Amino acid sequence: MPSIFTKIANGDIPSYKIAESEKYYAFLDINPVAKGHTLVIPKMEVDDIFELDDETLMGLHLFSKGVAHAIKKTIPCLRIGTTVIGLEVPHAHIHLIPINGVHDIDFKKPKLDYTKEEFQDIAAKIAANYNS
């Protein structure tokens, strides 16, 4: 049974896509803690990020670097915070979160609510900066 993130990367479940390569896929988190909160996954389905082979783990971080630059260009913030949690979805992923302070990366606070159009707009703007 493929993970929900494999289904997203395969296009079987819709997502607000930011960027894609042969091995990696970036898309907006559906329950963002901050505007522009993005998830980056390897297409290879492995649960624990630290069980990825070295090359895939390194590639995931390098791919995330490009995505983080695009988010930073798009969403006013001091930093792109990164975190790995992995308690909800058993498919390795990195959270990229625009932050102005440590409170912006608090997963216990209420999630932000965007309309489909707002999600599309955020994703399109980050994707345009990724491709520029």
Active site residue: 37, 91, 93, 95, which one?
93
Contact track, ligand 5GP, 82-111, x by CB under 6 A: ---xxxxx----------------------
Burial of 109 per CB tally in 10 Å (0-12, 13-18, 19+): exposed
Per CB under 6 A, the segment of 25-33, 48-56, 65-73, 96-104 that binds ligand 5GP is 25-33
Min. distance of Cβ 34 from ligand 5GP in angstroms? 11
Closest approach of Cβ 5 to ligand 5GP, in Å?
8
Residues 36-55 within binding reach of ligand 5GP (CB under 6 A): 39
Q: Quote the CA–CA distance of 10 and 78 in Å, as a whole number.
A: 33
Distances (CA, A) of 81 to 8, 40, 43, 50, 128: 23, 13, 22, 19, 21
**Partners of 42 in the beta sheet?**
24
Among 10, 12, 30, 53, binds ligand 5GP (CB under 6 A): 30
Residue 103 among the catalytic residues? no
The SS3 assignment for 96 reads: strand
The answer to whether the Cα torsion of 4, 7, 13, 19 is positive or negative is positive
Point out which residues bind ligand 5GP (CB under 6 A): 4, 15, 27-31, 39, 85-89
